[in-house]
Amino acid sequence: MSSSALMLHDLEAAVDAVLQRIEGAIVMALPLGIGKPNRFVNALYRRIKADGRRQLQVFTALSLEKPVGASELERHFMGPLVERVFADYPDFDYLEDLRHGRLPANIVVHEFFFKTGDYLHNDAAQSRFVCTNYSMVVRDMMALGVNLIAQAVAVRREAQDPQGLQLSLSCNPDLTLELVERCAQASQPLMTVAVVNEALPFMPGDAVLPLDVPDLVVDCPAGTHTLFAPPNAAIGWADYAIGLHASSLVRDGGTLQIGIGSLGDAIAQSLIVRDRENETYRSILSALNPQGLADRECEPFKEGLYGCSEMFVNGIMRLIDAGIVRRRVFMDEDLQALSRDLGPHPDANVLAALRKRGRIGSALTADNLSYLKRFGILDDDVQLDGEHLQCGALRIANRLDSDAALDAFKPLLGRAWRRAYLMHGGFFLGPRDFYQRLREMPEALREQIGMTRISFINELWNDSLGSEALKRAQRVKASLMNTTMRVSLLGAASSDALDSGQVVSGVGGQYNFVAMGHALSDARSILMLRATHQNRREGLTSSIHWACGNVTIPRHLRDIVVTEYGVAELRGQPDGEVIRRLLAIADSRFQQSLLAEAKAAGKLDRDYQIPEAQRHNTPERLRACLQPWRDSGQLPDFPFGTDLNADELTMVRALRKLQAASTHPVELVKLAFKSLTRQPAVPPAYLQRLGLDEAHSFKQLLLRRLFAANL
């Protein structure tokens, strides 16, 4: 460690050090997701809460807590699952108080991205939410006066030196180093605390924490805990259809950005089917698209894809393992220009190509040699010795002006490329087996996954790690996929908040990627949404509206919109055509009312009618299209596994039906009648798990019958 870093082995002592170092109010930045040092944060929060004289502001995003279930039935079911999957994961005290309106007056919590829907109608959380693009978060942290950043870090210990540590920002190199650098440039005081969590995968490259960065390193058993690992969600009918449509927009040799959850998994599984079972893939797409596949990308992958996604998710990991995400990019403009011709390992041809481009001379200079080592082209032991190159006992002339000279260089070549990546990501989050895969991954593959700054991933023009020209060369044929909640008939999208202003999640990097989809000459921005959604007050509603009261993506940035019913190409189209194309992928139960609104606004001819072929966008038709491949196993509920066992899956399906019926009075009445006539035997273990084995009250007895009717 650096001589300036204080090493402590106790969380309370670390809190003492922070309170002594920072006078007055503390403004603490925390990484989003799993990069937070939970127990340190709780220790500091409790100390300041108990004191009352010190002020604390917390600036973060995506604060994660163990699920508990919304109803008594769900809580009974979730208990054993949470204990098994989340083990000793510690929830945040500040979240508990925030959720229940108990935050003390001397503590404020600001988030810039909520866990979806968790803080609707929570006045304290809503009023202190900071609406910002992910790439602007460091600027906004500094404006709030941040003076402390605390982060969980991965560790590698040197066997020869028990005190020797190498630290990695692991899951969250997204903002930390940029914040440290910008505070230093602005002479803004910032204390950096690194808390070792042994469970974090060690990620190399840009994620390695320079030894002169942390002011305090906390290395103690209490810093380690289970990582928050949301189990894979089942992929439903609509998500599979959206994923299949979206996968047919991905071009071979291109760039891919996707997100987390069942929709991201659906895209990944669809791409795997496209590559491995191409005839089946075409058959599925043909069933979904009776009009034909002339405008779709359906071929297997010959060149492969490069992943450039702010979130590194399990779906991308599966695409790496499937050999689909395999297109290397280089952190150098000359090598990137040559990338299509470079082999899996450095060879003498790259020396000739670099010489031809003028990047190196016919005789290597010291700078040339450093450059070639940095990218793994020459062995680290090669030294410049006058007019010769020396490597161990081997000594050759320092010249590259003939085939014979190039041939002499072969023993000096490196074994593997460096700073060559299949994937760039800013943060990661996923199920338990995803983290385990990262921990156990061969080092050669791990070095091809570049966890790095969000400014590199989300922006073209920020050149802290790579020039705009380099990024453009890397991100060819990009498919930049994001999920949205609602789309207006004129092509605007609402992804972060309701019309009332109540924040559901946040902007994150969506605006960045949409803008990038237009800034790159051959990229496409793809917004995906389910055609309908359930609303507790209004019931089933369309996700395509005439207008959106809250706009995340303005309509002048409209490009491609995908629902389960198809793809709408909106770029460059006049308003009337945009409306017609969005009506074509809307749920047919809402098409006529949407059509009427468009006509009333003067955007469509009065005599326009939706073509007959587009009037059958129903869940029933969708299921009929996909049923054969759901049954045959190409489109399974959990293509990448699940933390739920067979009994839990059976119970979950019944509980979901019951939950869906509870939001629809008519469906609930139907279910109640069904329960009177159909009472299958329920395994006693199921009833015990749900707390219904000794049902006595009317409510418990009714729930027991309704649950049984859904098995």
Domain boundaries, the chain: 6-223, 237-328+422-619, 332-412, 646-710
Rounded CA separation 145/385 (Å): 52
| 129-138: average pLDDT | 96
| 446-473: average pLDDT | 91
- CATH topology match: 6-223 vs 237-328+422-619: yes
pLDDT surpasses 60 at 161: no
State the residue for tokens 């924490």: 209
Backbone angles phi, psi at 209, to 5 degrees: -85, 115
Q: pLDDT category, 571, cuts 50, 70, 90?
A: very high
Q: pLDDT category, 344, cuts 50, 70, 90?
A: very high
pLDDT for 711: 74
Secondary structure of 132-149 in the HEC alphabet?
Answer: CEHHHHHHHHHHCCCCEE
CA distances for 528 relative to 13, 198, 418, 495, 662, angstroms:
48, 37, 36, 10, 27
pLDDT for 621: 96
Best CA proximity match to 344, nearest among 444, 462, 479, 451? 444
| 262-272: average pLDDT | 97
Q: Give the torsion through C-alpha atoms of 121, 123, 125, 126, to 10 deg.
A: 70
Q: Is the torsion defined by CA of 534, 538, 539, 543 positive or negative?
A: negative
CATH of domain 237-328+422-619: 3.40.1080.20
Give residue-wise pLDDT tens across range 273-327. 999 999 999 999 999 998 889 999 999 999 999 999 999 999 999 999 999 999 9
Best CA proximity match to 640, nearest among 236, 268, 240, 238? 268
Rounded to a whole number, what is the largest CA-CA distance in the chain?
Answer: 94
pLDDT for 665: 54
pLDDT surpasses 50 at 2: no
Rounded CA separation 107/634 (Å): 51
Q: pLDDT category, 1, cuts 50, 70, 90?
A: very low
Q: Which residues, in sequence order, are CB contacts of 205 under 8 Å at separation 6+?
A: 419, 447, 450, 451, 452
Secondary structure of 252-269 in the HEC alphabet?
Answer: CCCEEECCCCHHHHHHHH
3-state secondary structure of 418: coil
The helix (run of H) or strand (run of E) holding residue 532 is strand 532-535
pLDDT surpasses 70 at 670: no
Mean pLDDT estimate for the chain: 93
The answer to whether the beta carbons of residues 663 and 534 sit under 8 Å apart is yes
% of the chain surpassing 90 pLDDT: 83
Type of residue found at 268: A
Find how far residue 442's CA is from the centre of its chain. 22
pLDDT for 466: 78
Q: Give the torsion through C-alpha atoms of 664, 667, 672, 674, to 10 deg.
A: -160
pLDDT surpasses 80 at 86: yes
Which DSSP state fits 115?
A: S
pLDDT for 535: 78
For the ranges 63-77, 330-344, 361-375, 475-489, which has the lowest average pLDDT? 63-77
pLDDT surpasses 50 at 183: yes
Rounded CA separation 2/167 (Å): 12
For the ranges 105-114, 214-223, 473-482, 661-670, which has the lowest average pLDDT? 661-670
State the residue for tokens 């010249």: 399
pLDDT for 696: 73
Q: Is the torsion defined by CA of 539, 540, 543, 546 positive or negative?
A: negative
Give residue-wise pLDDT tens across range 360-414. 999 999 999 999 999 999 999 999 998 999 999 999 999 998 999 999 999 999 9
pLDDT for 304: 98
pLDDT surpasses 50 at 642: yes
pLDDT for 690: 87
Rounded CA separation 97/104 (Å): 8
Q: Greater confidence, 77 or 421? A: 421
In terms of CATH, what superfamily is 6-223?
Glutaconate Coenzyme A-transferase (3.40.1080.10)
pLDDT for 686: 86
Stated pTM of the model: 0.94
pLDDT for 654: 83
| 447-464: average pLDDT | 91
The token pair that represents 146 in the structure block: 């941040």
| 605-620: average pLDDT | 96
For 275-382, where are the E strands, in sequence order? 306-312, 329-330
Best CA proximity match to 258, nearest among 640, 515, 504, 513? 513
For the ranges 45-54, 252-261, 502-511, 693-702, which has the lowest average pLDDT? 693-702
The answer to whether the beta carbons of residues 655 and 77 sit under 8 Å apart is yes
Give residue-wise pLDDT tens across range 137-157. 999 999 999 999 999 999 999
The answer to whether the beta carbons of residues 422 and 307 sit under 8 Å apart is yes
pLDDT for 394: 93
Q: pLDDT category, 598, cuts 50, 70, 90?
A: very high
